[in-house]
Amino acid sequence: MTTTRKVCALSLALAASAGYAADDNLFEDSLWALSPEELGQIRVTSIASGTITPLDKAAAVTTVITAEDIAAMGATDIDEVLETVPGLHVSPSTLAYFPRYYFRGIVSARNPQTLMLVNGIPLRTLVFGNRGHIWGGMPLKAVERIEVIRGPGSALYGADAFAGVINVITKSGKEINGTYTGARAGSFDTQAGWLLHGGVYGDWDIGVSLEYEGTDGFKEIIASDAQTINDNAAGTAVSHAPGSVNLGRDITEVRLEAGFKSFKARLGYQGRNNLQTGPGVIQALDPYGEFRSDRVNADLTYDFSNLADHLSASAQVSYYYGTQDPESNNYLYPKGTVLVFSPGSTASFPDGFIGNPGYKEQNVLTQISSLYSGSKDHRIRLGLGYFWGDVYETTETKNFTPMFTPRPGGLESVADTDEVWLPEKDRTSYFGYIQDEWQFAQNWQLTSGLRYDHYSDFGQTMNPRAALIWATTESFTSKLLYGRAFRAPSFEELFVISNPFSLGNPDLKPETIDTYELAFTHYLSKEVEYSMNFFYYRIKDFITFAPLNDGTPRSQAKNVGRRKGYGTELEVKVNPSDKWTLTANYAYQKSVDEAMDEDVGDAPNHQIYVRSDYWFDPQWALHTQINWVGRQQRPPGDTRPDLDDYATVDAGVRYFQGQQIEASLFVKNIFDRDAKEPGPASALPEDLPLAGRSIYASLQYKF
């Protein structure tokens, strides 16, 4: 049996395990013809429809990245992994270099259009609608795989599954299967260590992981910042530019997972300490400001696998707690700042322009889903859920008034006053969805679904989906996909009343997007496979902060209009020999502001990624990868030349001594390419620098 036929066989077996009769499936080969090694070579996903499906038959354009892929990349942080996904570009923001995950050219300052899940549970803040600005990265030793939907996911996942969905799946005790300890050291005074233990003990599956990393961050230079502009206007010279971007941080990550029969419980902690502010909170370099964040997530799931004939269900409750705490004064502008409002109208801040916003947040999500597979041709999934979230203890100390003049009392707390940056708010919502997987012919399947969400602060929304999948031949699959998604306005966008630079708008409507996709997967031979898709989308009521034009630098959140985008993505995997694998992808996108009929800008129109994994000895592997990011156009109104394309080359070697010892050495950006990502013309005219050449060595031991 060829590899192509075996891939098709897995489609049969997995579908049968999920409720299909054997003669109802797309292909007729038996799963038992597959060896364990061959099974391990075939990728499956559950993110697209909630049930395990071979990647080529999934009801969405999906990428799966395994723990082995992560190791072959030499990746130490999730951002490095996500940058290899076609159609997804990772770009640093001006807020502590918080990563923005741009799917298919859908760009924004806060990046709330991407939903991140950890084991299927949303990881997001109500305040900003994203993963929290005090992010600090995510280490990877506890990650089993990462599943990514490129395109809408609101029909299953609700709010913010707008441009794409990222699900990080951590290792169970069975997958850890032993005790591992390791350490890594490298450039920028980086030290990291980890300890993982897991296994199956009778009816219990127990896994625990602890990871730590401390780094000073890279020290690339920012030549000009927002304070440079103030200096030019006021005749002062207090800017820290030229100066290095400030990216130091300490990361602690703890995860515990326990499974007992039908129960599964997880507990996670993400601690971020001494996190510096990158180019500064408002793009004026601040070598002193630091933040802290604590994130706790917990979930409990019970599977009713034998609820009735052909009926299974699961119930889940999850809890999230997150904070943003200033650890030291954050200098929005440095000591000696003079702000010029008009000729003869100035405000002096000899101690600096200081603002220290903080908050705490918690939320609870309860949901139940069921799957009925008693019909010959249908699998019907139903779900119901309720969400409650609360942003509380919003705090702020500052030494300026809402009109940007010095406070008479200097640095003061404005918590529990109308001058605090964000009022305390809560939100509730409830939802229900239905999905039908209908195999109406042996080689055809239609997955359709509809989800209804109701929010306490802005109303209701409905989001449908449809995926027509045709197993054209045993080795070729075609898909026609449609989906609508929405993005709920964040609390910052709705309710901020006393921020010096951005104001909320309680009349905002949610953003919506309609996406159409045509996709193909072809197993050309046992050595070559490829997939290709074409997409088109239209966005309504896109939210951005537009200038108030009131003589201050303030802007307000508004539904500013429409965008459209289109493009294509191509993935290829080649196995020239049993020892050598080549993986490559290419993506093209064009995103247009319909009101101006211009490219939205700030995202590459073209991307290419290539990786080679070569096992030149059973104990040695050589890995190389090239990431090319094409020219990035400027947004409308930005007259600077387009940002040049750049290519970075990484290479590494790994050594294994059985399953007991693993050592690696990786060099990143070998040729020390001077790469930059877009920064605002008004504050960072020379853009945001990326890391130069770096080197990392690691050693892991299994007891």
pLDDT bucket at 474, cuts 50 / 70 / 90: confident
Q: Is the pLDDT of residue 11 over 60?
A: no
Q: How far apart are CA 154 and CA 484, in angstroms?
A: 7
pLDDT of residue 33: 37
Residue-level pLDDT at 402: 84
d(CA 595, CA 598): 8
465, pLDDT greater than 70 = yes
Q: Is the pLDDT of residue 403 over 60?
A: yes
pLDDT, mean of residues 196-217: 97
Confidence bin at 41 (pLDDT 50/70/90): low
Q: pLDDT digits over 659-677, tens only? A: 899 999 999 999 999 999 9
**If pLDDT is split at 50, 70 and 90, which confidence band does 22 have?**
very low
Average pLDDT over every residue of 442-449? 94
The DSSP secondary structure of 361-372, one letter per residue, reads EEEEEEEEEEEE
CA angle 346, 351, 352 (to 5 degrees): 65
Q: What does the alpha-carbon distance between residue 247 and residue 97 come to, in Å, rounded to a whole number?
A: 8
pLDDT in tens, 276-307: 999 999 999 999 999 999 999 999 999 998 78
Whether the pLDDT of residue 134 is over 50: the answer is: yes
Question: For residue 633, what pLDDT band results from cuts at 50, 70 and 90?
Answer: very high
DSSP 530-555: EEEEEEEEEEEEEEEEEE--SSSS-E
Task: Tell whether the model's pLDDT for residue 23 goes beyond 50.
Answer: no
pLDDT given for residue 242 in this prediction:
97
pTM listed for this prediction = 0.93
Interval 583-602 mean pLDDT: 96
pLDDT given for residue 494 in this prediction = 94
- 276 burial (CB, 10 Å; 0-12 / 13-18 / 19+) is buried
Give yes or no for residue 460 having a pLDDT over 70: yes
Domains assigned to the chain: 43-163+194-702 (2.40.170.20)
Write the CA distances from 647 to 147, 152, 298, 609, 630, integer angstroms: 25, 29, 40, 10, 8
Q: How many helical (H) and strand (E) elements, i.e. helices and strands, does the chain have?
A: 8, 41
Q: How many C-alpha atoms does 203 have within 13 Å on its Cβ side?
A: 5
The predicted-structure confidence for 350-360, as pLDDT tens digits, reads as follows 999 999 999 99
- Cα–Cα distance between 690 and 694 in angstroms, integer? 11
Q: Using 50, 70 and 90 to split pLDDT, how confident is the model at 551? A: low
Query: How many other CB atoms sit within 10 Å of the CB of residue 660?
Result: 11
